[in-house]
Structure 1
Amino acid sequence: MTDKPIDIIRTSFGRAFRPAAVAEDICEVSRERLSGILERITPEVTGRFSGCGSPIPEAIGGSRILDLGCGTGRDVFLCAALAGPKGYVMGLDTEQAALAVARKAINTIMENFGFIEPNVAFRQGSIDSLADAGLYDEDFDVVISNRALGHVSDKLKVLREVFRVLKSGGEFQFSDVYCDRRLPKEVESDEELKREELGGAVYLGDFLRLVRSAGFRDPRIVVSLPLEITDTSLCEKLSGATFRAVTFRLFRIRSLEEGEEDYGQAAIYKGTVEGFPNRFALDEENLFETGKALRIGGNTARILTESRFAPHFTLIGGQSRHFGAFTRG
């Protein structure tokens, strides 16, 4: 687990912001590739970004992608560049003003990308009512979200809706802030903490239970970084609670078991995911070096063979013989 702290920067608006460099650190997409794309996105879009990372999955060329709570569209346009002209990215948000900024920037950014036709669209709607927004079953390869889930009270409803709109083998990757304990009601309702977007942080253990009950049986953490809170008044109110910015990836694969089991399998990464010629991190526990076999659990084997990552890996072994619970040691 990475333990580089993130300073919460307090602004005159009372909200928690992170430096752009930190946003790139949280995401495991190559820094050079992201920065090159960001240079072609207009300042009106990038200047209003207030997420806690960039949950931009790898190997999304030609994919249909949905961004929940897209704001002015920074991550939509990042995905659009990586998805290419044959891909399609939809941004969904409730704020008409933010969507107006995003829509106004489409033609300029598409021209900067060298695309003849736009591969993005923006729609107004709530992330907990995807059906009302006209989103169909199994319509997207990838869904992303950047701090939007933390603003919704019924997170289970959102997770179930995401599961519904994802295709089989599809992925939901998202970043948000989580707490190491359940916060007292007076802390959750504290106005200052709500302004800093800490009061509504969910206990990580409770959130993982919601994820599994929504159908995502084996949630994976891509990156988890501690938040350093330097304001002493906030620290006193939090009474020792600590927070982390976490990027998750969840796969809609019904054959996944509720835990990793050992079937004696291994996988070799071919080095073919764009931007990752030497190594590829599926999650914190599974870092593949190109050409080198890595022992993996049964669920990881299913993810690598039943998702868009299948062409990039060689799987060794089957699941006819079980050796007990999988351990990395």
Structure 2
Amino acid sequence: MTNVHEDVQNYYGQQLQQTTDLKTDACCSKADVPSFIKDILKKIHPEVVAKYYGCGLVFPPKLEGCRVLDLGSGAGRDVYILSSLVGAQGYVVGVDMTKEQLDVANRFIDYHTKAFGFEKANVEFRLGKIEQLTDDSGMKTNSFDVIVSNCVVNLSPDKKKVLQQVYEMLKPGGEFYFSDVYADRPVPEDLRQNKILWGECLSGAICESDLISGALAVGFTRPILVATDPIGINNVELQKLLGDIKFTSCTYRLFKSKSIDKSTNSDDKLGALVTYQTSIVHYENEFQFNESITFKLHGEPQYLNAELVKMLRMSRYSDNFKFEPITDEKQIPNTTNQVSNQQKSNDQSSSSCCCRPGTC
């Protein structure tokens, strides 16, 4: 294989000057942007926006006051949006290995500090590889509440190492929330040698089975699928090379395991009825937990099995929910919808966006 890091640095540092230079839609998000994010985007400098290369939205709820790390932060668009969301008491660190991108990001720190009305900057950008986070003496392990990444993990030649590094940097109970490109089958080796396809986030597309096994191996909870969007190649020459391979943008959330007070979950082995009880800013009406489960504020309790209850209890969202442990199997809802929700939540390998288990 070619030197992936050098090829990616060249592609994003020299060949691409703005979003419109991309040859496919893989690094162009089609997700609906919430109104509060649109309001923040209006304050982002146009040059930063023009150099955005992402395939999803990586802004999970309840970020105020959080310490956040953005992997592959590029020119800084997502970092600056996160800067606004975490507020003056929060802090955002962007890591990228491409100097040209970081030069743009650093040039506009003061601009965005003033635009958001902060007395001092709450962001910084660091030059480095996402496989080597713990080698940076300026960043401490177990120090981030949330880590995000937008269409970057696929660019790494060692995705298992990335997951291990993310796990090390997160606080116990912390969340890894990331969007990336997934393929419905393994990408052939000859295509993995193609520098343009690597740069376009296609040669390194992730296999879901690898994500699940890699995440569980380092200690994460099972990945939760939050959103999917089909990716169009829209380039005749590249489409011929790729053949029938289908690509999808998927957004997942993973939590770093932590111990939970036994007094709060001693009866969770059968799951619990869960209610969204206290609203989160910007999510006053509903909270989407995964692709198939959305909680309405003060709505009907939803049944979550023991694994999902544990994830929610260990997260920063826990205080916003009421948990009513199931003590008798007869209490478990038996509707088609509930069964479908649990199957989708637990058997991530059944989703349509990625490789089948055992194929990658």
What TM-score, normalized to structure 1?
A: 0.86
Give the aligned partner of residue 356 of structure 2: none
1:18-29 matches, cutoff 5 A? 22=30, 24-25=31-32
From 95, 99, 104, the equivalent of 2:102 is: 99
Task: Judge conservation of contact 2:23–2:235 (CA < 8 Å) in 1.
Answer: no
Unaligned segments of structure 2, at least 5 residues = 1-18, 261-267, 333-337, 342-360
Q: Distance in 2 between matches of 1:302 and 1:168?
A: 13
Look up the match of 2:14. none
**Pairs within 5 Å for 1:38-77:** 38-77=41-80
2:134 corresponds to 1:131: yes
In structure 2, what is the equivalent of residue 272 of structure 1?
279
Give me the whole-angstrom Cα distance separating, in 2, the residues matched to 1:319 and 1:254. Answer: 24
Is 1:310 the counterpart of 2:318? The answer is yes
State which of 89, 92, 98 in structure 1 corresponds to 2:92: 89
Contact 2:131 2:165 in 1 (8 A): yes
Of 25, 33, 36 in structure 2, the residue corresponding to residue 33 of structure 1 is 36
For each residue in 1:165-198, what CA deviation from the matched residue of structure 2 results, as whole angstroms up to 9, or x when unmatched? 1011100111110101112211222345334331
Give the Å deviation of 1:262. Answer: 6.5
What does residue range 110-125 of structure 1 map to in structure 2 within 5 Å?
Answer: 110-125=113-128
Aligned counterpart, 1:203: 207
Matches of 1:140 and 1:54 in 2, distance apart?
19
Partners of 1:249 and 1:188 lie apart in 2 by: 27
Residue deviations 1:265-318 (CA, integer Å, cap 9, x gap)? 111002511111111101113211111211111122122222110121111116
Q: Deviations 1:86-120 (Å, cap 9, x if unpaired)?
A: 10111111122222211221111111111111111
- Code of the residue aligned with 2:179 in structure 1: it is S
As a proportion of its length, which structure holds more strand? 1
Q: Considering only aligned residues, what root-mean-square deviation do their CA atoms show, in Å?
A: 2.6
Structure 2 CA distance for partners of 1:234 and 1:323, relative to 1, 3 Å = farther
Structure 1 pair 322–255 and aligned structure 2 pair: CA distance change class (3 A): farther
> What is the CA distance between 1:322 and its match in structure 2?
11
Match of 2:351 in 1: none
Aligned length: 310
| 1:296 and 2:310 correspond | no
Q: Which residue of 2 aligns with 1:148?
A: 152
Unmatched 5+ residue regions in structure 1?
Answer: 1-9
SS at match of 1:228: coil
Query: How far does the alpha carbon of each residue in 1:226-273 deviate from its partner, in whole angstroms, 9 at most, with x for none?
Result: 1123434433322311110011111002469xxxx9614111002511
Deviation by residue 1:18-71 (Cα, 9 ceiling, x = unmatched): 556x2x42xxxx611000011111112111101112211110110011111111
The letter for the 1-side match of 2:172 is S
What is the aligned partner in structure 1 of residue 197 from structure 2?
A: 193
Letter in 1 for 2:136: A
Amino acid in structure 1 at the alignment position of 2:50: G
- Which amino acid in the other structure matches residue 276 of structure 2? Y
What secondary structure sits across from 1:167 in the alignment? strand
- Aligned AA (2:80): F
> What residue number does 1:7 align with?
none
